[in-house]
Amino acid sequence: MSTTKDPELASSNTEGKHLGLALAVISAAQLMIVLDATIVNVALPTIHTSLHFSTANLEWLITAYSLTFGGLLVFGGRTGDLYGKRRMFMIGIAIFATASLLGGLAQSDIWLIITRAFQGVGGAIAAPTALSLIATNFPEGPQRNRAMGVYAAMSGGGGAVGLLLGGILTDLVSWRWIFFVNVPIAAVVLFLAPRALNESQTTSGYLDVPGALTVTAGMLSLVYGLSNAATHSWGSSAVVIPLSLAVVLIVSFLIIETRSSAPLMPLRIFANRNRSGAYAMMLGIGTALFSMFFFLTQFLQNILGWSAIKTGVGFLPMTAGIVVAAGVASRLVGRIGIRIPLLVGPAGAFVGLALLSRLTVTSSYVDIIGPLLIISLGMGLAFVPLTLTAVSGVRPNETGLASALLNTGQQVGGALGLAVLATVAIDATKSTTQSLSTATHGHLTRAVNAVATTHGYTTAFEVGAGVALAAFVVSLVVIRAPRPGAPAETEVKIEGARASAG
């Protein structure tokens, strides 16, 4: 084995840095960012009443965060490559904390939606640089794999933790504390970051602002159009115009990237089939995971009548399952490679969502906990090898980009998936309501509405299961991994500058 050290990896071993503290800082920041994608879910009814939200605007509390987060992740990752990962990590956390403080002080629906969007901006800068800082601070091998396991557990379990914390704060304190709680956490992270984390080397170049604007605006327009399809026909101007604009903007983005001397997203990053497969899988997993959180939360509260805090507690087994499975996966990948975990992960999501699609108004938590555990174990096993595969073999100055694209897949998959599956659920609910209205001669009781609404949720679970199955097919057909112990096994490691970008 060569003893040559990459400049970035060499800088990660400077004396005086504590790996345990570094991991704690990175993990705390990642958990805070990820849980904010779901922490608002259980507080929606309370916020709806407190700030007099319209039904249409209420959805944007989730979407505004996911869109700015997902749409700007690549841009945020690139800032870390150009200006230093630790520096941009701290700037992202500072923006996130400021937006959280302002969100907690919100006095109107528009005010809160805007602060949610700025939370997404801060998260888009901090999240990809946080992942890249693992490569900068942890030497390749078991230490980095363990760090990836903890990071993956925070990424995978953050959604469930957000539901629990959101329920506790909403029921016992105030919905405003789902935002205020980020401020002291961020303050501690900002205090410890320069003391625990090494700075990365920077690279020359400039930010591709036209690329960032077109891709972000394109994703916003795409999700806006898909969301409108829930209340308008697919042929209406409210759907056709934003979807057409999205196509124009995304095509413009691709043209800009092929012609730019310093593109935001060099298309060569997709030349490696394993990396491209990992991105596609994360897109599908994001869709399945976000939709599961959203619709199952609605089912527990609207159909079973659970409180916000009880709903959060109900997701605890899922959090535990993801954390345990991610820890196991971080040890397994060095022995058995990435192949088996990347097959078991989406397969588990498919089985779990398929079982959730069988829920009825008479179902109990016993019918839910089994599918939740199956999904959590599958996701926990998949996150570590997906992360390793996505950033394996990239150039040192593109680790931020590689990690950003993985996060982008999860967030954009969640935003797009939620927009599509919400439309599917609403259509299924309307169809069932019409059928039951005819059968009951127009007498729509609360029980009848519950049946129709549950059918909408379960239909969304069915489609989500189909998306998870597609991710399984991608893993089966696209991902190629050598046998454990073969010389090419370094494909599952983060190799920094030792390998080309593809």
More confident residue, 497 or 282: 282
Nearest to 264 by CA among 68, 82, 498: 82
Which residues lie below 8 Å from residue 57, measured CB to CB, with a gap of 6+? 109, 110, 113
Q: DSSP assignment, residue 269? A: G
Which residues lie below 8 Å from residue 9, measured CB to CB, with a gap of 6+? 135, 136, 139, 140, 496, 497
d(CA 404, CA 396): 14
Contact 394, 501 (CB under 8 A): yes
DSSP 445-499: -HHHHHHHHHHHHHHHHHHHHHHHHHHHHHHHHT---PPTTSGGGGGGS--GGGS
> Is the whole-model pTM more than 0.85?
no
d(CA 141, CA 495): 10
Q: DSSP assignment, residue 260? A: -
Residue 485 pLDDT: 46
Greatest C-alpha distance within the chain: 80
Question: Per-residue pLDDT for 7 more than 70?
Answer: no
Phi, psi of 237 (to 5 degrees): -65, -30
Contact 183, 97 (CB under 8 A): yes
d(CA 388, CA 119): 27
Question: Dihedral sign, CA of 89, 95, 98, 103?
Answer: negative
Residue 270 pLDDT: 85
Tokens of 165: 């914390």
More confident residue, 187 or 396: 187
Residue 351 pLDDT: 96
Helix (H) or strand (E) holding 206: none
Residue 195 pLDDT: 82
Nearest to 40 by CA among 466, 349, 418: 418
- pLDDT tens-digit profile of 356-369? 999 999 999 999 99
d(CA 289, CA 479): 21
- pLDDT tens-digit profile of 299-322? 998 899 888 888 888 888 887 888
Contact 439, 310 (CB under 8 A): no
Contact 51, 112 (CB under 8 A): yes
Q: What percent of the chain has pLDDT over 70?
A: 85
- pLDDT tens-digit profile of 192-237? 888 877 776 666 667 788 888 888 788 878 878 887 776 777 788 8
d(CA 412, CA 287): 8
Residue 488 pLDDT: 37
Residue 467 pLDDT: 94
Q: What is the Rg, in whole angstroms, of the alpha carbon atoms belonging to the chain? A: 22
